[in-house]
Chains A and B, each alone.
Chain A
């Protein structure tokens, strides 16, 4: 699966898509593959604040719970609540219909350190190499 070039990526395998001062956040294809079939998603409520580097929810497979870290600080303005009943969208379309939350950014400069597509692809290639050593 392609890693959209207009997204930015974190070391914890979240992606961010910025439009103006709103950021959509999700987990990457690499992350959903690691996790396995997603069965449960826990998201914040609209109006809650998220803080860069802190967890804002969880994505769970049968086997594992994964905390999701926010790449940026801001206020949650929208959540993808179809994931309540169809969490598998995170597996089938992690970069699109599987988005998790939208945040009005408090400080878009926080996103400056994130990886672009090339950097992220190199990053996950190095992770996979370690894993199969």
Chain B
């Protein structure tokens, strides 16, 4: 059978916790030029990690992601103006301590990258971006903010970022911080002392569809390992296990969260991706706005839908989608078994006429066309907890 893992190459980038992952016997993979853990077989592997996040808590090293700070230089308001120009969502609606999902677009209205924008201060923003697009994004930001009065800092290497995700994440983190986590609503953040480290960014964000927090600590190996070990220790009573990119993918897929290069890319626009609600066309001009107007006027030729396999078979990334006549009419962007649902699910681009719930779509799986049907998304929604206050994540 073909090899499923990539041997480590010295040119691959490593996060500060690389040695920890290898010590834990993680299966490593090349993800966007980074040597990252895909799963940890010793503690159960992908399915166990996925289930731990849905039922208890898991921890991910996501330090490969990037961080760009945009803050005012001389004129107050320079940073906001720059962010508003770069980002499609309305950053003027963010309170200090609030974050939202957004994207940076090309003039055509297609994606440079998706991003979480955090308002750190009066005129001070942190953009958290994808690992694989770090260099492209920082260049894009620098190029496009030249005429704005703001300073742009690439802080990507400054942080080790841990995502602590699951219904027990808050209980775990309570043991490690003095910050009042109950006051941090979904998509809000604070700074507090975590594991004795002052002024640590604690954000109630994540990429799993569960409650959880992402913490940003100093990227030196000693600090990073100390925090990782304390998180693992604090999580022991909640059944914590380390989680890799494999589970990260199945979790975000079930929650219908986009992955750059799959559901969003430089060839896909906001309307096709179904991310309208994060795009504030009326807020003023931004890169991509004109392109999106044109695209809207021209009409949609494809749209993103959720699929559930009906026939036996697993739809996977890049498999073709066909209609009943066997003609290729679309493509799977992400597909996998769903550990929570026990079904095989996928996201796919299909013609707008075929987006109705229950529409049969045939996925080409090697030599066979296997029947799937369009289903509602997200495939999974976490149960509502009466305790956790839900602020509007759709700012």
A and B assemble together: yes
Binding site for B on A (CB under 8 A): 12-14, 27, 31, 33-37, 39-40, 42, 58-69, 130-133
**Within the complex, what minimum Cβ distance (angstroms) separates B30 from chain A?**
12
Please determine whether B4 and A35 come into contact, CB atoms closer than 8 angstroms: yes
Q: With A37-B46, A58-B366 in contact, is A66–B41 under 8 Å at CB?
A: no
Please determine whether B246 and A37 come into contact, CB atoms closer than 8 angstroms: no
Determine which residue in A27, A36, A59, A60 has the highest number of CB atoms from chain B within 10 A of its CB, and name it: A36
Please determine whether B46 and A36 come into contact, CB atoms closer than 8 angstroms: yes
* 11 further interface pairs, Cβ-Cβ under 8 Å (given A35-B1, A40-B314, A131-B28): A13-B1, A31-B1, A36-B41, A36-B246, A37-B45, A40-B312, A40-B313, A65-B316, A66-B2, A131-B5, A133-B8
Instruction: Among A33, A62, A67, A133, point to the contact of B246 (Cβ < 8 A).
Output: A62
What 9 A-B pairs are tightest by C-beta distance, nearest first?
Answer: A66-B1, A64-B4, A131-B7, A130-B7, A63-B246, A62-B337, A39-B337, A36-B45, A37-B47
For residue B22, CB closer than 8 A to chain A, the reply is yes
User: Which residues on B sit within 8 Å (CB–CB) of A67?
Assistant: 1-2
In the complex, residue of chain B having the shortest beta-carbon distance to the beta carbon of A31: B1
Please determine whether A69 and B8 come into contact, CB atoms closer than 8 angstroms: no
User: Which residues on A sit within 8 Å (CB–CB) of B5?
Assistant: 34, 131
In the complex, residue of chain A having the shortest beta-carbon distance to the beta carbon of B47: A37
For residue B75, CB closer than 8 A to chain A, the reply is no
Please determine whether A62 and B46 come into contact, CB atoms closer than 8 angstroms: yes
Determine which residue in B2, B28, B46 has the highest number of CB atoms from chain A within 10 A of its CB, and name it: B2
Q: What is the number of contacts between chain A and chain B, taking CB atoms within 8 Å?
A: 69
Q: With A132-B8, A133-B8 in contact, is A69–B1 under 8 Å at CB?
A: yes
Instruction: Among B1, B22, B28, B39, point to the contact of A63 (Cβ < 8 A).
Output: B39
For residue B77, CB closer than 8 A to chain A, the reply is no
- Contact flags (1/0) for B111-134 with A, using CB distance below 8 Å? 000000000000000000000000
User: Which residues on A sit within 8 Å (CB–CB) of B314?
Assistant: 39-40, 60, 65
Binding site for A on B (CB under 8 A): 1-5, 7-8, 22, 27-28, 38-39, 41, 45-47, 246, 249-250, 312-314, 316, 336-337, 339, 366
User: Which residues on B sit within 8 Å (CB–CB) of A59?
Assistant: 1
User: Which residues on A sit within 8 Å (CB–CB) of B339?
Assistant: 62
A132 to B41, CA, bound (A): 15
User: Which residues on A sit within 8 Å (CB–CB) of B250?
Assistant: 62
Instruction: Among A27, A37, A132, point to the contact of B22 (Cβ < 8 A).
Output: A132
Please determine whether B7 and A62 come into contact, CB atoms closer than 8 angstroms: no
A76 to B138, CA, bound (A): 57
Instruction: Among A34, A39, A60, A69, point to the contact of B3 (Cβ < 8 A).
Output: A34
A61 to B247, CA, bound (A): 12
User: Which residues on B sit within 8 Å (CB–CB) of A33?
Assistant: 41
User: Which residues on B sit within 8 Å (CB–CB) of A66?
Assistant: 1-2, 4
Determine which residue in B1, B22, B46 has the highest number of CB atoms from chain A within 10 A of its CB, and name it: B1
User: Which residues on B sit within 8 Å (CB–CB) of A42?
Assistant: 366
**Within the complex, what minimum Cβ distance (angstroms) separates A6 from chain B?**
22
